Structure 1
Amino acid sequence: MNKLLIVATIPITLSSFFTYITRHLQAKGWRVDGMAAGISSDSKCLELFDRVWDVDWSRNPLKPQNLMVAPQQIREVFAKQEYDIVNVTTPVAAFVTRYALNDLRKQGRVKVIYTAQGFHFYNGGPIIRNSVFLGLEKLAAPWTDYLVVVNREDEESAKRHLIKPEQVRYIPGTGLNVGRFNRHAIPEAEIVQLRQELGLLPETPLFLSVAEFIKRKHPQDVLRAFARLARKEACLAFAGNGPLMPQMQQLASQLGIQNQVRFLGLRQDIPTLMRTAVATVLASDREGLPNCVMESLCMETPAIGTDIRGTRDLLEGGSGLLFTVGDIEELAAAMALILDNPEAARIIAQRGRERITNYEVPQILKQYEALYTEAISQPEFATASAF
């Protein structure tokens, strides 16, 4: 029996991103375990994995336990279980686990795969921040057998700065559930009910932003662009929570658009919201591969996003509308185009749906299964080395 351990800093990452991969491999006779801080009290992970393992680390990379306690715990688990592959993700878990298992990896006892959901260094990022995180990735690169990236910019960076090109794999995400995000599966009655809940007339155009209220998501840009749009007949809804929400509610009032904006908090009906919207908007300055954009494309709802890695991969070539980070005028113009050119919006939505095919679950599962099979079948694979 092949044995795989998937490791993340916190449990929700595992249940959110690796459910399809885990279920697929289990159905093929693999044993798949999970490791994260507090995972033994997470009901979703307990149901998902064959076994789960707690590890005492913190999302704060400066906490001493990350290197003083966690590595020994990881080695103890491995000594009992002898996994064929350890697939790590998220920064703290990826760094600490690779450090802990490097000697075993060099002995050929395990293959270590790092799935980078988006490097913390990126084109246009702050110089000091980029230098620090690039330095950490370079340090950990020799502890890695394969590096999985989810967007083209990270693929180029990995090959240029981190490890040998033949050890880099571009796999766009961990699988999009097209069954849930199916425009034609949303009953019209649900849309009518949602519009009533939001206080919208049947003809009211709705823009939707699905994102946390945090700095890098730039919710203030969405509000300012909507105010610049100056369309009294339109409405803007935010689905998500976060520390900036009270500040954004205040900004909406200052801009005089409070009656046109809905702050919905966390929602379980994202597909219905996207089906109701004329377009979705994501104003982030940094993403790996944004799920909300993929979901919007899958729902055949035009997406408007910043011209950054990940989002660019999804929307370039007419599959969506791109604007420069922080450019309120560009964003307002993109929103106006959606309202004023319904035929152009329809074509954009159609192209977006065609683009998303490569991100669907079956395609991703094939690529991960091929990678795992390759890793197991090449015990003498050359160790990674930083350039």
Structure 2
Amino acid sequence: MKTKNQENNKRQIIIVATTASMIEQFNMNNIKILKELGFGVHVGTNFKNPGTITNEISNGLIERLTKLGVKCHQIDFKRGVGTPSANKKAFRQLSKTVEEEDISGIHTHSPLGSIIARRVAHKLGVKILYTAHGFQFFKGGRLKDWLVYFPVEWFYGRWTDALVTINTDDYAVAKHLPIKRVYYIPGVGTDIENVERIAKEQRQKLRQEVRRNLGINNDEYLLLSVGELSERKNHATVIKAISKLNDPKIKYVIAGIGDEETNLKSLIKENRLENKVQLLGYQTDLDGLYFAADLNVFISKREGLGLGGLDGVAHGLYIIGNGNTGMKDYIQSDDIGLLVNDPTDVDEVSRTIAFAKQGKKKVTGKGLEAVREFDYRNVNRIMKSIYQKEFM
């Protein structure tokens, strides 16, 4: 007996990620590309515990996907490494979905979700494409991470048909994994062209409005970090660096939600920075924040590419990034930003902030040309060709 999917003669592809936030932030373009290519598209993720977006936004995501003709499946992935019982449950849920929906291809994201998805693909003989958003092991990273995570990726590489990497370091390392085909794309795409169309007058208007709402004076130097409140994003080091600088003109805002909120609030209070540091929560419209800020401090301990950093650069915002991550792919010169060697070194971070403040640079012409390859239109073009090679 033929299923409905078989009768429609559409090949069914499922995009898998541990959290709904990874779908919302990184995969909407991929979904649209698959739809344009004529595939039936499914999403398997944890919509109930959605990660770095709110439950309200997660519910809205389900509505948006449904309107696009995408079928949503709740998979109870845990974050981090999960637990044996939870991982088994997620494996059963995903296996059932793949079988019942006649899935012929899986595009998987996030470490834990990708391990479970590859086990499912191996068990059921389904083709699988894996996008690594930054390996847990990387040049300059901890030896412990190499000893633990590289063997895991090597083992599951045997069950991976193709791998997509989003930075050049991961692309080089991936050549040592037993994966049939390895691709490189320049990140997950940001909208450089549309940002460039925003008139200078509108940028200035947004800057003044946001700074006024935040209580930032014209002569004050505003630092911005965009990203979840987690140890990995390393906002604590920035707060400590601001305390060390003791510069009355420096203010700092963080846009994001996460498990570290209580600890960060305690750190702010401990350093008496209540009037200098603000936690803004989850922000859906970042244009004004990027234009309002003078410096993007994006010193994650580990980062595949760092979309929050790249988006800021697209808006002309100068950046401080971590030189041991994929950020160095786009922070190619001091026309764009500065790289620190140790993102947890408060002295180095504070010195770099002070140096950037002294220069008061913006990313313009030459700098924007250097990052044009990261525009989502170019990324989509490459991703479309990968889908055609792997799934058609």
Report Cα offsets for 1:178-232 as digits up to 9, x if no partner: 4675583545333222222222222322111223332222223212322333432
Aligned residue number for residue 54 of structure 2: none
Greater CA deviation, 311-320 or 172-181? Answer: 172-181
Deviation at 1:253, TM superposition (A): 4.5
Q: 1:15 to 1:268 in 2, by over 3 A?
A: closer
3-state DSSP of counterpart to 2:371: helix
Within-5 A mapping of 1:76-115? 76-105=96-125, 110-115=126-131
2:183 — aligned with what?
Answer: 169
Unaligned residue ranges in structure 1 (runs of 5+): 378-387
Is 1:125 aligned with 2:141? Answer: yes
CA contact (8 A) 1:298 1:352 kept: no
1:318-337 correspondence runs (5 A): 318=334, 319-325=336-342, 326-337=344-355
Per the TM alignment, residue 311 of structure 1 is displaced from its structure 2 partner at its CA by 1.5
Using the aligned pairs only, state the percent identity. Answer: 25
Name the SS of the counterpart of 2:15 in structure 1: strand
1:371 Cα deviation from its structure 2 partner = 0.8
CA distance in 1, matches of 2:269, 2:82: 39
User: What pairs up with 1:173-252 in 2 under 5 angstroms?
Assistant: 173-178=187-192, 181=195, 184=198, 186-252=202-268
Report the TM-score when normalising by structure 1.
Answer: 0.85
Q: Show structure 2 runs of 5+ residues with no match.
A: 1-9, 51-57
Name the CA distance, whole Å, in 1 between partners of 2:166 and 2:198: 28
Question: Match for 2:345: what amino acid?
Answer: D
CA shift in 2, pair 1:205/1:372, >3 Å: same
Question: Which one of 296, 312, 317 corresponds to residue 333 of structure 2?
Answer: 317
Partner secondary structure for residue 143 of structure 1: coil
Equivalent-residue separation in structure 2 for 1:10 and 1:253 (angstroms): 31
- Per the TM alignment, residue 46 of structure 1 is displaced from its structure 2 partner at its CA by 4.3
Q: Which amino acid aligns with 1:170?
A: Y
Query: Paired residue for 1:140?
Result: 156
Q: What's the CA shift string for 1:25-64, capped at 9, x where partnerless?
A: 3234332111123479844134325212233443353523
Taking a change above 3 Å as real, the CA distance of residues 71 and 236 of structure 1, as seen in their structure-2 partners, is closer
- Contact kept? 2:82, 2:112, Cα under 8 Å: no
Of the candidates 139, 150, 156, which is equivalent to residue 172 of structure 2? 156
When normalised by structure 2's length, the TM-score is 0.84
CA distance in 1, matches of 2:80, 2:265: 29
Listed as ranges, the matches of 1:269-308 within 5 Å are: 269-308=285-324
Q: How far apart are the structure 2 equivalents of 1:156 and 1:374?
A: 21
- 1:30 alignment partner in structure 2: 39
* Change in 2 beyond 3 A, CA 1:218/1:73: closer
Higher mean C-alpha deviation, range 91-100 or range 115-124: 115-124
Per-residue CA deviations over 1:320-359 (Å, capped at 9, x if unaligned) read 11112223333233322333224xx13x554442233112
The structural deviation recorded for 1:156 is 1.7
d(CA) in 2 for partners of 1:155 and 1:370? 18
Counterpart in the other structure of 2:372: 357
Q: Are residue 13 (structure 1) and residue 31 (structure 2) matched?
A: no
In structure 2, C-alpha distance between the alignment counterparts of 1:321 and 1:91, rounded to whole Å? 29
Report deviation, 1:157. Answer: 1.7
Question: Take 1:72 and 1:256, find their aligned partners in 2: how far apart are those partners?
Answer: 50
